[in-house]
Amino acid sequence: MLAKRMIIVFLLLGFISLFADITYEGARSVLGAYLEYLEASIFIAGVISIGDLLNYFMRGISGFIAGYTRSSRMYWCLVLLGYSINLFAVPLLAFVGKWELAFILVLIERSGKGLRAPVRDVILAEVTEGIGKGKGFGLHELMDQMGAILGPGFVAWSLYNSGGDFRLAFKYLFIPASIAILLVIIAMSIYPRIRSVETTPKNALRFRGFSRRYYLYIASMMFLSMGFIHWHVVSYYIEQQGIISKYLIASLYLIAMASDAIIALPVGFLYDRIKLKILLITPLLPVLIIILFTSISIQTLFIMSIMWGILMGIYETAMRASIADLVEAGSRAYAYGLYGLVFGSSWTIGNVLIGFLLSNRWRNYLITYVLIVEFISFIILLKIVKEQGAASS
């Protein structure tokens, strides 16, 4: 009976992510272009990635609260509250007339995502134990990315048929947001008790530090994220250059999300077989992305979108599954929270710098910057993989 409920909750979590992604990924596909429409600068398009800093900061807060309270009810409350804030901020973008107000709504939306992400991942890690964490996170990411494909596709369709009316597209996103919240409530009622929280001895749930390998891992991911250009910056720059129509910008994001979906399940299977070795390719991808992005042609933008989606697919599958394997079950909420805080901080800092370089005479140094941070990420990751191999031999 318990196994059956775990499978049902796993599927519900997948559908929740599907409808959630229709909502906020649909909006994010054109958010940079919307900022340009609202007369913000490209520097602001880079700075708005501070929303992801807030997202990951709230992951740290959420992880601490969940780990400290050791309460299934608190876990589910954070999930429900987070999704509600995350999703209902999106349709409100339709009613703003200044980029400053859009900026505030992005911060609100990202903070909601941060609240629910680490506790959702703890629940997901638990209900996927029977099938393997890599496969479980891969299947979840596949469902997640189905929504991330449908969302930008719907926004592209809406923009095409409305003559580029951003506001109408945002209003329609209220529907999938409501469906996702309803599914969260159903999942709560089916699986109210989280075993890894309530059956682990209380002392085991106290934060007592993590292994050296875990800290090296988040250091590697920190440098990786510093060179990973945010889609806000991508879509703003493309809109600014004026080489393709607005609906095609959303279509490029759709291509990225489709690439993410295609890669997610194979990555999950590979992770269960070779563990962290699968991540060795990741530092190469931001370098290829920035080279293709700065070429700024329709053909290179198409390939760049595919690469961007592949990197996100690896991040959402193997990188998240790695955390569950690097720490004990009772410490996962803390571990996801700290990882999210570090990743988000470095991603924001990196994209503020990328936006600055793009808007100034130092644009030619952008590729050099990305090469440096990704090389550091690779060296640290290689060290972890070698240590893991030595430990298992």
Residue, of 248 and 189, whose pLDDT is higher: 189
**CB atoms closer than 10 angstroms to residue 376:** 18
Q: Encode pLDDT of 327-348 as tens digits.
A: 877 777 788 878 888 888 898 8
245-258 burial string, b = 16+ CB within 10 Å, else e?
ebbbbbbbbbbbbb
pLDDT > 80? residue 117: yes
- pLDDT tier at 389, thresholds 50, 70, 90: low
Please give the Cα distance from 105 to 51 (Å, whole number).
Answer: 9
Q: What local confidence, expressed as pLDDT, does residue 55 receive?
A: 84
Please give the Cα distance from 76 to 73 (Å, whole number).
Answer: 5
Q: What is the CATH number of domain 2-392?
A: 1.20.1250.20
- Give the residue from 103, 74, 75, 99 showing the smallest Cα distance to 89: 103
Q: What local confidence, expressed as pLDDT, does residue 205 receive?
A: 46
pLDDT > 90? residue 153: no
Q: What local confidence, expressed as pLDDT, does residue 379 receive?
A: 96
Residue, of 224 and 195, whose pLDDT is higher: 224
Q: What local confidence, expressed as pLDDT, does residue 380 receive?
A: 95
Task: Calculate mean pLDDT across residues 158-176.
Answer: 89
Percent over 90 (pLDDT), the chain:
36
Task: Calculate mean pLDDT across residues 350-379.
Answer: 89
Residue, of 184 and 46, whose pLDDT is higher: 184
Q: Encode pLDDT of 352-361 as tens digits.
A: 899 888 877 6
Please give the Cα distance from 259 to 103 (Å, whole number).
Answer: 28
C-alpha neighbours within 13 Å on the C-beta side of residue 115: 19
C-alpha dist (Å) from residue 6 to 52, 67, 142:
30, 21, 18
Please give the Cα distance from 226 to 377 (Å, whole number).
Answer: 10
pLDDT > 80? residue 45: no
- pLDDT tier at 305, thresholds 50, 70, 90: very high
Most confident stretch, 237-241, 254-258, 269-273, 309-313:
309-313
pLDDT > 50? residue 100: yes
- Which letter does DSSP use for residue 316 in this model? I
Q: What local confidence, expressed as pLDDT, does residue 392 receive?
A: 58
Q: Is the pTM of this model over 0.85?
A: no
Q: Encode pLDDT of 46-98 as tens digits.
A: 777 778 778 878 887 888 888 788 788 999 999 999 999 999 999 999 999 89
Q: Encode pLDDT of 243-290 as tens digits.
A: 777 778 878 888 988 898 888 889 888 888 888 888 999 999 999 999
Task: Calculate mean pLDDT across residues 117-144.
Answer: 82
Residue, of 174 and 46, whose pLDDT is higher: 174
Please give the Cα distance from 301 to 86 (Å, whole number).
Answer: 29
Percent over 70 (pLDDT), the chain:
94
As given in the structure block, the two tokens for residue 286 are 């931001």
Long-range contacts of 339-343, Cβ-Cβ distance < 8 Å, separation of 24 or more: 339/59, 339/218, 339/221, 340/55, 340/56, 340/59, 340/60, 340/63, 340/114, 340/117, 340/118, 341/56, 341/57, 341/59, 341/60, 342/56, 342/218, 342/221, 342/222, 343/56, 343/218, 343/221, 343/222, 343/225
pLDDT > 80? residue 388: no
pLDDT > 70? residue 234: yes
Q: What local confidence, expressed as pLDDT, does residue 209 receive?
A: 63
Three-state SS for 393? coil
- pLDDT tier at 378, thresholds 50, 70, 90: very high
Q: What local confidence, expressed as pLDDT, does residue 204 receive?
A: 47
Residue, of 392 and 300, whose pLDDT is higher: 300
pLDDT > 90? residue 109: yes
Window from 90-99, 104-113, 169-178, 331-340 with minimum mean pLDDT: 331-340
Task: Calculate mean pLDDT across residues 110-135.
Answer: 85
